[in-house]
Amino acid sequence: DIQMTQSPSTLSASVGDRVTITCRASQNINIWLAWYQQKPGKGPKLLIYKASTLERGVPTRFSGSGSGTEFTLTISSLQPDDIATYYCQQYNSYSATFGQGTKVEIK
Amino acid sequence: QVRLVESGGGAVQPGKSLRLSCVASGFTFSSNGMHWVRQAPGKGLEWVAVIWYDGSNKYYADSVKGRFTISRDNSKNTLYLQMNSLRVEDTAMYYCARVYGYSYGYFDYWGQGTLVTVSS
């Protein structure tokens, strides 16, 4: 099974800061990676797929990059509405494994 | 608009069974693969099972293999998860999620979840 390792587990930043979350796959997954945002009490929301393609309606301050085994999610200017937990997910195989999650807080 | 509504959760004792349902609307249900994903209280997301658009292929996480069965009724736009021999560690919010595509892939829509609590 493909393992996904996400870091950091918690991130505290100020409004307007640039924020970066990293996700590492245990084997090559090409560009088959998605990022989700989850707010308390809600189901996850798709932000990015194919490592760097922004889902329709998602603010352009979100961006993704990477391929192979190393991936990043960047928020260019953190906003109060971005307070949430973020997950990466590989879909190179039918068993869709997730990273452990990164909780983003406002400093 | 795409909508996924889960139901069937509740409190059960270890060893018992429960069947979850996910009713889909706003899209051609028979064209998309579907997954179940769960989240234990305060924990991260864990993939549970996937079913192809036509039900021809099904795969499970090792943690539920042999105990859970995923199925779908495309005539009723409904996805199911039959959960047998439930364990305390199966306690979680269970989400259904639509795949962008006919088999597996990324999840473009999620339901709000249904809570399963397994406790004696």
Shortest CB distance from A87 goes to which of B45, B95, B103? B45
Q: Which residues of B touch A101 (CB under 8 A)?
A: 44-45
Query: A-chain residues within 8 Å CB-CB of B94?
Result: none
Contact indicator for A55, A47 with CB cutoff of 8 Å: yes
Residue A16: DSSP 8-state: T
d(CA A27, CA A5): 11
Per-residue pLDDT tens digits for B97-116: 999 988 889 999 999 999 99
How many residues does the structure list for chain A?
107
pLDDT digits 0-9 by tens, B23-79: 999 999 999 999 999 999 999 999 999 999 999 999 999 999 999 999 999 999 999
pLDDT for residue B103: 83
Whether residue A94 lies within 8 A of chain B, CB to CB, comes out as yes
Contact criterion met (CB < 8 Å) for A99 and B44: yes
Peptide bond into A8 cis (omega under 30): yes
- Nearest neighbour of B45 by CB, restricted to A44, A46, A94: A44
B29 backbone dihedrals φ, ψ, rounded to 5°? -55, -40
Q: Which residues of B touch A98 (CB under 8 A)?
A: 44-47
Pairing of strands B114-118, B10-12: parallel
Judged against a pLDDT cut of 90, whether residue B3 lies above it is answered with yes
Give the residues of chain A that fall short of pLDDT 70: none
Share of chain B above pLDDT 90, in %: 96
DSSP, collapsed to helix, strand or coil, labels residue B78 as strand
